Structure 1
Amino acid sequence: MSQYQRLLLIINPALRHPSAINSAAELAKASGASLHVAALIPSFKWLSLLEEGDRKLARERYLQDHRDWLEAQAKHLRGAGIDVTTEVVWAEDMKQDILDHVAELQPDLLVKEIEHESALKRAFFTPLDWHLLRHCPVPVFLLRRSGAVLPRRVVAAVEVSDSESADNALNERIIKQAASLALQCEAELHLLYACDIAADYLADMGGLALGDLTRTLRKDLEKSFLRLAGHFGVPSDRRHFIQGHPVSALSEFANEHDVDVIVMGRVQSHGVGKLLGSTTEHILYQVPCCVLAV
C-alpha cells in the first residue's frame, strides 16, 4: 500500500500557475491518493474602502472567478482518473489557515510551491515556508516551479555520527519516505551525507584541527554512513559521502547530478543543525530542486 492516501495542495489562485497542480496530481495518480486543492486568497485591504454591499459583491465575484478557473483544472484531472476536490476561500491568517486545513483534513502530505523571500525580509520576518517546516505535523513537500512533474532522481539526505544516536530514527523516516516516493514514481533512490567535520566536532576542541584527528573522525563517519546504506540496501553507486557544509554541498550535488527531490529531516540533533530545521530551511533558497521535509 502507498504511504500516501490523501494529499493536500495549497496554491495561490491569483498566480494561476498550473505546474503545482499538475505535479501534485501526478503524484496522487502514481500513489493512488486523493488530492484536495485549497486555493487560499489573502484578504485585500482595499476592499474595506468599499460600501458593505459593494464589498460583499466584489468579494464573491472574485472568489467565483477563481472557483471557475480551479474547477476547470480539476475537471481535466478527473478525466485522467484522479480523485480531486477543490475549494477557494479567503485567508485572514495564511500561516494559521494552512495549519488549520492540515488539522481538519489530516493529509499524509502537504504540498506547496516554494516562495522565494529575500535575505533582508528573512532577517525580519519568518517566511511562510519556514513556518510550515517548523510547525506542520505532516511531511511537507515544497515544489520548485521548474521541476519535473514526477521525480526521476530522489536523494535521501541523512545525518550520521561516529556512534549510535537518536539520529537513527529520523534517518529511518527520511529513507523510508524517499524510498517510497522513488518506488511510486519509478525514480532512482540515492543516499547522501554531507560531512562537515569542522562544524560538527572541532568547534568543541578549542580549534585544534589536527590532521590525524580529522582523518579518524572522517573514517568513523564514513563507516557509519556505509552501515546505514547497507542496512537499507542502497547500491554502492548510489551512496554519496561528500565533504562540505550541508547547504553548499547539497546544492552543488543537486546541480551536478540533476536531482529532482531532496528528502531531509526537519530537526537535526547536532553539528550545524542544532537549530530547528536550519539546514533544511536554508536549502530551500539554494538547491535547484524540490524538497520533501520529514
Structure 2
Amino acid sequence: MSSERLLVVIDPDRVEQPALDRALHLARKTGAPITLFSVIFNLTYEKTALLSKTERDALRDGLIDKHHRQVEELVTPLQQEGLSVDARVEWHDRPFEAIIRYVLDNDVGYIIKSTQEGGNRLSATFFTPTDWHLIRKAPVPVLMVKEHDWPKEGKILAAIDIDAEDEVHRELNERIIQTCTSLAKLVDAQVHLVNGYPGLPDNLFIEQPEFNNLGFNISISKQHQEHLEELGAKHGIAADHCHARQGDPEEVIVAIAQDLDAELVVLGTIGEQGITATLLGSTAEHVIYNIGCDLLALKPSSFESPLA
C-alpha cells in the first residue's frame, strides 16, 4: 500500500465509523487520499403515488444534500489536519453496485468498510449482505474492519493455499504475502502464514483396516509444514511464524487468528459466481463471520469485476 486512494464506505446509520478510523491510520503513514463514500436509499421517495415525479426528485435531492452535509462534517477537520479527504453521496438501492461502479470509474486502491458485529450465518446465506458482494465482485482489495485495534508489534496472518497447482492460485499466494509484508512494514507488525489442509476421511480405516491412517496423516502434516516454511523463507518469514494445520481452511484460519490474537487476516478470493457460491459462500465469507479482527480480501491480478 502506497499513496493509492482509499475508498471508505460510510455507514449512515452508525455514529462511530471504524472503517474511517482504519483508513486514517493508514493515510497518516502513507499520505494516501481518502474518499468518504456513502450510499443512501428510501423506497418511499421512489414509489409514493401522492407526489409527482418532480416532487419526488426534489425530496430525494434534498435528502442527498442533507446527508452530504453530514458526511462533510467528518471531512472538514481531517482537511484541516492536512489530509486529502473528500466526500461523495449516491442514491442507489444496491450499495455494492454504486461502490464498485465508482471504483471502476476512478483510481481507487482499496475499499475499506466496517462489518456488522454478530449476524446469523444461516440467514446471511440467503440474504446476501453488501459485504459478500464486495468480496466477490470488487476489482480491488476489500478491507473489512471490525472493532479491533492495530497495536504496534501486532500480527498479520496470511492465508495460503500451499497445494495450489494452477498459476492463478500461485500468483494469488505471492500477492497475499507481498501485501502482508508491505503492510507489516507500514504498521510495525509481524507476518504469519497459515495453511489449512484436509485429512483422510474418518471411515477410511474401517473400510481399509490395513491402511496406516496415522502414519499417512503425520507424513502429510510434515509435508505441508515444510512447504509452508519454504515459502515463508523465500519472503523472509521465520519458520515459527508458519502454521500448517489439518482441517477445513476457514476453521483453521479462524483458530490460528484467535491463537495469535491477530489484528488482520489476509486471504484470496477468486470471486465465484452462481448458485453454489450464493448458498455456500467462499472461505473469505465464512471467515469474516467468525474472526474478531479485520479481514483483507484480495483478488488475482487477472480478475475482472462482473460489473465492468
Scaled to the shorter chain, the TM-score interval is 0.7 to 0.9
Q: Check if 1:141 corresponds to 2:140.
A: no
Q: How does 1:98-177 map to 2 (within 5 A)?
A: 98-115=99-116, 117-144=119-146, 146-148=147-149, 152-161=154-163, 166=167, 167-177=169-179
Unaligned runs of 5+ in 2: 299-308
Q: Check if 1:31 corresponds to 2:30.
A: yes
Q: Aligned match of 2:255 in 252, 257, 263?
A: 252
- Divergent runs of 4+, >6 A: 205-209, 274-277
Against the structure 1 CA distance between its residues 224 and 89, is the aligned structure 2 distance closer, same or farther, given a 3 Å change threshold? same
Mapped partners of 1:78, 1:21: distance in 2: 14
Asked if 2 retains the 8 angstrom alpha-carbon contact of 1:22 and 1:149, the reply is no
Tell me which amino acid in the other structure corresponds to 2:82. Answer: G
Unaligned runs of 5+ in 1: none
The percentage of aligned residue pairs carrying the same residue is 27
Q: Once structures 1 and 2 are overlaid, which stretch shifts more, 169-178 or 239-248?
A: 239-248
Corresponding position of 1:51? 51
Q: Aligned match of 1:263 in 247, 266, 270?
A: 266
Residue deviations 1:74-123 (CA, integer Å, cap 9, x gap) = 11112222211111121132232121011011311111112465334333
What TM-score does the superposition give when structure 2 sets the normalisation length? 0.81
Superposed displacement of residue 188, structure 1: 1.9
Mapped partners of 1:16, 1:209: distance in 2: 58
Asked if 2 retains the 8 angstrom alpha-carbon contact of 1:268 and 1:277, the reply is no
Q: Secondary structure at 1:197's aligned position in 2? A: coil
Superposed displacement of residue 215, structure 1: 1.9
Query: How many residues are matched?
Result: 283
Mapped partners of 1:23, 1:90: distance in 2: 25
Q: Secondary structure at 1:267's aligned position in 2? A: coil
Corresponding position of 1:189? 191
Superposed displacement of residue 11, structure 1: 2.1
Asked if 2 retains the 8 angstrom alpha-carbon contact of 1:266 and 1:277, the reply is no
Q: Check if 1:241 corresponds to 2:241.
A: no
Superposed displacement of residue 56, structure 1: 3.8
Superposed displacement of residue 165, structure 1: 5.2
Tell me which amino acid in the other structure corresponds to 2:71. Answer: L
Corresponding position of 1:40? 39
What TM-score does the superposition give when structure 1 sets the normalisation length? 0.84
Q: Aligned match of 1:228 in 206, 212, 231?
A: 231
Q: Check if 1:282 corresponds to 2:286.
A: yes
Superposed displacement of residue 156, structure 1: 0.9
Q: How does 1:71-110 map to 2 (within 5 A)?
A: 71-110=72-111
Root-mean-square deviation over aligned CA pairs: 3.0
Against the structure 1 CA distance between its residues 164 and 20, is the aligned structure 2 distance closer, same or farther, given a 3 Å change threshold? closer
Tell me which amino acid in the other structure corresponds to 2:182. Answer: S
Residue deviations 1:159-181 (CA, integer Å, cap 9, x gap) = 112x8653332110000111111
Superposed displacement of residue 285, structure 1: 0.4
Q: Secondary structure at 2:96's aligned position in 1? A: helix
Against the structure 1 CA distance between its residues 247 and 93, is the aligned structure 2 distance closer, same or farther, given a 3 Å change threshold? same
Asked if 2 retains the 8 angstrom alpha-carbon contact of 1:37 and 1:87, the reply is yes
Superposed displacement of residue 206, structure 1: 8.9
Mapped partners of 1:209, 1:133: distance in 2: 41
